[in-house]
């Protein structure tokens, strides 16, 4: 039996952890149920390009032009006119209360001016307290409204001609041509869900022994810090594997997320990511003295990692210092891997850098945890 | 090697928050000896034991346990020592058998299966081996813990109140087993609050407020205390007790059934006081052996005086 590492001891520690994991029914169920619940909840709920937002129409004289505009706007999918006959004062109250996201105002002489060939003005007020509400809906607007009016006047051909004369800008929405939010969110959720369960569970590893008083016994027996760490984190690799399968199958079957790259590459990325997570959680548990402290540490870590990793907001859109900070989270690198492999069909070379970063994290956390491990009860 | 003591520590000091909980403790336990470790609650017994098996780092002092330096060779000590914690610290969510298997695996026992089934049979727990350890009664938890820490055949047992809450029959079995193991060369350091257990030890060490204040065989400790004891008996012992309390030369007054034990350091003063009260109350007076308990109570009182 080696001094520093023995498989017999590791096996004893592993089987003990597995038995305890199995007996803790609620935690066990949560480890498998929570990922699925979160995936469904967030996968369906989060939408960066919201559609069907409520709108009010203020049009003192309702005629065929105003109806044409309403129809055209509704056809874009962004607007849903819940209050089609609002007065200006009512509309003001509606948008202030947040009951509608848009107020479309047509002046009373709108129809007359269109017939005269003037340039009639059309006011759209958007509730931009949440900028993402306004962006998509407003960007499509000017062409839609103009075309609607021209069509209504029966000079569609002319409209197309005039459009053709102006400068043509071609935009390709690559990797996600329809701009489906789920394609971006669901692979990211894989990372977030794994991070949530893996870090939280392993952060309890040592503090639970401390709180139950079993640490004194464990430390008085000849298990080494490395064996104890492996015994604590390895079972969670198995739990992580199950979660990965659940999330990936759901991503494909329920959300239809494309899966372009090689699966083994993705799984390798997941493996390195989960390894870094469980060791990070274990590192937390060497620092914390109680389960409560471990929880607080974990949450202290979660929020910045969610906000700065590129899960919530585009990574490249953050200021330089925030990007630098973001590089410190394993989640950031994992998101690059998972999005590149699933959506872009990236090969090994394309994800080598984030892969190396994750490996370094895992090794660094492990070294730190072994240093931090207290062999005594001091 | 053979004549080297199993435990030899010198000048151990452990402070918690500036307070010396173990204060300059030196202790020697010979191989094959059963050493009792006694002292009031909070006197530092558990802390001293933890220092000796490498679970706490001393702030000062040095020593060897089974020939290994306690400061640098904790790993070697852990392999050869069986430590039974005061508070049950096996896994309550594991069964009896799973706990034993875990211990057998950690010590890398060659035939773990046999060791586990043998221990279960010795305990008489074979039929209950699938029961969760947490659902055992207090006494059975103690017995399981003891069995688990001798499974790997250690050379030194550090037992922290192993018989707290254990019934008399099991306690006697336990002590018989300890003596049997000791005759086979095992060394035992056992902390206890029971006087009868102290008397079953080869030598005892008494610690008070972190200081080792008495050591030796039971008769040596009693003799060194230099106490005199009288027993009063009769119908009026209660009144006699009231009269004796606080009299010159009377250090302890303790009723035992229909008799009254009076203990004092100064034999002449004590005799004078006891004779006067015996005459007043019509009690019979006779000299008696000083018990270990009397000595300990005396030591406790003295240590408290030192603290003030
Ligand atoms: N980790 C710790 N931090 C702070 N104080 C401690 C710690 N461990 C023990 N103490 C203090 O040290 C003193 C001695 O405790 P210890 O457990 O060694 O006493 P003991 O002799 O075993 O008592 P008992 O007979 O009640 O078991 C107590 O006052 C206790 O409060
Ligand atoms: Mg104690």
Of B94, B157, B154, B104, the C-alpha closest to B129 is B94
* Domain termination residue (choose one: A165, A198, A233): A165
- What are the tens digits of pLDDT across the range B227-244? 999 999 888 888 888 888
Q: Which ligand is nearest to the CA of B42?
A: 1
Same domain flag for A83 and A227: no
**What distance in Å separates the CA atoms of residue A46 and residue A48, rounded to the nearest whole number?**
7
- What are the tens digits of pLDDT across the range B90-123? 999 999 999 999 999 999 998 999 999 999 998 8
| pLDDT category of residue A207 using cuts at 50, 70 and 90 | very high
Q: Which ligand is nearest to the CA of B18?
A: 1
Residue B304, pLDDT score: 59
DSSP B87: S
Is residue A174 in some structural domain? no
Q: What is the mean pLDDT of residues B242-258?
A: 87
Q: How far is A250 from chain B (nearest CA, A)?
A: 34
Contact with chain A for residue B43, Cβ under 8 A: no
Least confident of A31-45, A214-228, B191-205, B218-232: A31-45
Query: Which one of B55, B75, B94 has the shortest CB-CB distance to A16?
Result: B94
Contact with chain A for residue B131, Cβ under 8 A: no
Distance B38 CA to ligand 2 centre (A): 10
Residue A163, pLDDT score: 53
Distance A158 CA to ligand 2 centre (A): 96
Query: Which one of B85, B103, B104 has the shortest CB-CB distance to A216?
Result: B85
Kindly report the backbone phi and psi dihedral angles of residue A220, in degrees, each rounded to the nearest multiple of 5, phi listed first.
Answer: -85, -5
Q: How far is A235 from chain B (nearest CA, A)?
A: 16
Contact with chain A for residue B79, Cβ under 8 A: yes
- What percent of chain A has pLDDT above 70? 90
Number of H helices, E strands in chain B: 11, 14
Of B84, B88, B97, B83, the C-alpha closest to B128 is B97
**What distance in Å separates the CA atoms of residue B272 and residue B250, rounded to the nearest whole number?**
10
**What distance in Å separates the CA atoms of residue B185 and residue B179, rounded to the nearest whole number?**
10
Between the CA of residue B296 and those of A206, A241, B71, B192, B194, what are the distances in Å?
40, 61, 32, 13, 11
Residue A27, pLDDT score: 80
Question: Which of A142-151, A180-189, B34-43 tops mean pLDDT?
Answer: B34-43
Same domain flag for A275 and A363: yes
Question: Which of A63-67, A245-249, A299-303 tops mean pLDDT?
Answer: A299-303
Q: How far is A369 from chain B (nearest CA, A)?
A: 19
Contacts of B254 (CB under 8 A, 6+ apart): B260, B261, B263, B294, B297
Between the CA of residue B61 and those of A301, B30, B37, B70, what are the distances in Å?
42, 19, 19, 10
- What percent of chain B has pLDDT above 90? 65
Distance A376 CA to ligand 1 centre (A): 15
Q: What domains appear along chain B, each with residue ranges and CATH number?
A: 7-222 (3.40.50.300), 228-289 (3.30.70.600)
Is residue A358 in some structural domain? yes
Host H or E run for residue B38:
strand B34-38
Of B74, B76, B151, the C-alpha closest to B109 is B151
Same domain flag for A22 and A125: no
* CB-based contact A288:A373 (threshold 8 Å): no
* CB-based contact A246:A32 (threshold 8 Å): yes
Q: Is residue B308 over pLDDT 50?
A: no
* Domain termination residue (choose one: A136, A165, A194): A165
Same domain flag for A253 and A336: yes
Taking the CA of residue B225 as centre, how many other CA atoms within 13 Å lie in the half-sphere pointing to its CB? 31
Same domain flag for A346 and A248: yes
| pLDDT category of residue B81 using cuts at 50, 70 and 90 | very high
- What are the tens digits of pLDDT across the range A240-259? 998 899 888 888 888 888 88
* CB-based contact A13:A222 (threshold 8 Å): no
Contact with chain A for residue B162, Cβ under 8 A: no
Residue A345, Cβ neighbours under 10 Å: how many? 14
Tokens of A127: 């509730």
Q: What is the pTM for the complete model shown? A: 0.85
Range of the domain at A140: 53-165
**What distance in Å separates the CA atoms of residue B69 and residue A128, rounded to the nearest whole number?**
71
| pLDDT category of residue A182 using cuts at 50, 70 and 90 | confident
Tell me the pLDDT of chain B averaged across its residues. 91
Angle among Cα A216, A232, A196 to the nearest 5 degrees reads 120
Residue A219, pLDDT score: 94
The DSSP bridge partners found for residue B189 are B35, B158
| pLDDT category of residue A48 using cuts at 50, 70 and 90 | low
Is residue A378 in some structural domain? no
Residue A43, pLDDT score: 79
Q: Is residue A204 over pLDDT 80?
A: yes
* CB-based contact A36:A246 (threshold 8 Å): yes
Same domain flag for A315 and A188: yes
Number of H helices, E strands in chain A: 17, 4
A42 burial (CB, 10 Å; 0-12 / 13-18 / 19+) is middle
Same domain flag for A72 and A26: no
Same domain flag for A346 and A240: yes
Contact with chain A for residue B141, Cβ under 8 A: no
For ligand 1, atom 26, which residue shows the shortest CA distance?
A: B41
For ligand 1, atom 3, which residue shows the shortest CA distance?
A: B16
For ligand 1, atom 30, which residue shows the shortest CA distance?
A: B42
**What distance in Å separates the CA atoms of residue A121 and residue A107, rounded to the nearest whole number?**
7
Distance B231 CA to ligand 1 centre (A): 36
Tokens of B228: 């005199």
Q: At what angle are helices A7-23 and A225-253 packed, to 10 degrees?
A: 50
Residue A160, pLDDT score: 55
Number of domains chain A is built from: 2
CB pairs under 8 A between A and B: 81
Q: What is the mean pLDDT of residues A76-102?
A: 87
Residue B307, pLDDT score: 52
Report helix, strand or coil for B174: helix
Residue B247, pLDDT score: 86
Q: Which residue has the tokens 């895992």?
A: A362
ipTM: 0.88
* CB-based contact A13:A229 (threshold 8 Å): no
- What are the tens digits of pLDDT across the range A258-289? 888 899 999 999 999 999 999 999 999 999 99
| pLDDT category of residue B3 using cuts at 50, 70 and 90 | confident
Find out whether the beta carbon of B129 lies less than 6 Å from any atom of ligand 1: no
**What distance in Å separates the CA atoms of residue A194 and residue A196, rounded to the nearest whole number?**
5
Same domain flag for A194 and A334: yes
* Domain termination residue (choose one: A103, A134, A165): A165
**What distance in Å separates the CA atoms of residue A83 and residue A103, rounded to the nearest whole number?**
9
Q: Is residue B143 over pLDDT 60?
A: yes
Chain A residue with minimal CA distance to B71?
A376
Is residue A170 in some structural domain? no
CATH number at residue A115: 3.40.1710.10
């Amino acid at each position: 039996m080696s001094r520093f590492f023995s498989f017999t001891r590791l096996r004893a520690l592993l089987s003990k952890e597995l038995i305890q994991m199995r007996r803790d029914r609620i935690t066990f169920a949560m480890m498998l149920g929570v990922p699925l619940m979160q995936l469904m909840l967030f996968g369906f709920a989060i939408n960066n390009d919201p559609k069907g937002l409520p709108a009010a129409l203020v049009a003192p004289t309702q005629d065929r032009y105003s109806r044409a505009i309403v129809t055209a706007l509704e056809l874009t999918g962004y607007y849903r006119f819940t209050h089609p006959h609002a007065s200006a004062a009512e509309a003001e109250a509606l948008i202030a209360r947040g009951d509608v996201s848009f107020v479309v105002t047509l002046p009373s002489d709108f129809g007359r001016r269109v017939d005269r060939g003037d340039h009639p003005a059309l006011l759209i007020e958007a509730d931009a307290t949440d900028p993402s509400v306004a962006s998509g809906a407003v960007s499509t607007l000017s062409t839609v409204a103009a075309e609607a009016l021209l069509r209504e006047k029966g000079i569609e051909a002319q409209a197309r001609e005039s459009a053709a004369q102006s400068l043509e800008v071609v935009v390709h929405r690559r990797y996600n041509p329809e701009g489906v939010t789920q394609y971006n969110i669901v692979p990211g959720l894989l990372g977030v869900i794994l991070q949530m369960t893996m870090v939280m569970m392993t952060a309890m590893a040592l503090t639970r022994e401390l709180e139950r008083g079993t640490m004194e016994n464990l430390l008085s027996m000849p298990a080494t810090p490395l064996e104890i760490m492996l015994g604590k984190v390895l079972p969670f690799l198995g739990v992580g594997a199950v979660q990965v399968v659940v999330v990936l199958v759901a991503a494909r079957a329920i959300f239809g997320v494309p899966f372009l790259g090689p699966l083994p590459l993705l799984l390798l990325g997941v493996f390195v990511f989960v390894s870094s997570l469980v060791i990070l959680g274990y590192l937390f548990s060497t620092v914390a003295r109680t389960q409560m402290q471990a929880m607080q540490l974990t949450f202290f870590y979660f929020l910045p990692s969610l906000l700065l990793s590129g899960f919530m907001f585009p990574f490249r859109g953050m200021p330089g210092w925030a990007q630098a900070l973001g590089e410190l989270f394993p989640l950031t690198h994992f998101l690059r891997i998972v999005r590149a492999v699933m959506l872009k069909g990236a090969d090994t070379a394309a994800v080598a850098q984030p892969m190396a970063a994750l490996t370094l994290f895992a090794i660094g956390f492990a070294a730190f945890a072994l240093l931090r491990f207290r062999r005594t009860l001091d | 090697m053979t004549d080297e003591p199993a435990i030899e520590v010198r000048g151990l000091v452990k402070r918690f928050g500036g307070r010396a909980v173990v204060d300059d403790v030196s202790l020697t336990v010979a191989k094959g000896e059963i050493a009792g470790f006694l002292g009031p609650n909070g006197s530092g017994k558990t802390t001293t034991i933890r220092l000796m098996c490498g679970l706490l780092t001393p702030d000062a002092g040095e020593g060897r346990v089974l020939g290994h330096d306690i400061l640098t060779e904790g790993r070697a000590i852990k392999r050869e020592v069986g430590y039974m914690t005061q508070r049950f610290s096996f896994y309550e969510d594991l069964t009896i058998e799973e706990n034993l298997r875990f211990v057998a695996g950690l010590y890398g026992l060659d035939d773990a299966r046999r060791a586990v089934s043998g221990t279960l049979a010795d305990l008489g727990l074979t039929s209950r081996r699938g029961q969760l350890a947490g659902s055992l009664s207090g006494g059975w938890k103690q017995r399981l813990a003891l069995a688990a820490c001798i499974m790997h055949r250690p050379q030194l047992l550090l037992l922290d109140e192993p018989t707290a809450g254990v019934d008399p029959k099991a306690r006697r079995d336990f002590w018989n087993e300890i003596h049997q193991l000791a005759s086979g060369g095992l060394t035992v350091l056992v902390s206890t609050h029971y006087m009868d257990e102290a008397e079953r030890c080869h030598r005892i060490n008494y610690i008070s407020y972190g200081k080792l204040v008495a050591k030796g065989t039971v008769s040596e400790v009693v003799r060194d205390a230099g106490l005199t004891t009288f027993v009063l008996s009769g119908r009026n012992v209660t009144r006699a007790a009231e009269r004796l309390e606080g009299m010159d030369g009377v250090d302890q007054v303790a009723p035992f059934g229909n008799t009254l034990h009076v203990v004092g350091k100064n034999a002449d003063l004590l005799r004078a006081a006891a004779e006067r009260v015996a005459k007043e109350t019509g009690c019979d007076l006779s000299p008696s052996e000083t018990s270990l308990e009397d000595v300990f109570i005396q030591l406790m009182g003295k240590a408290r005086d030192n603290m003030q």
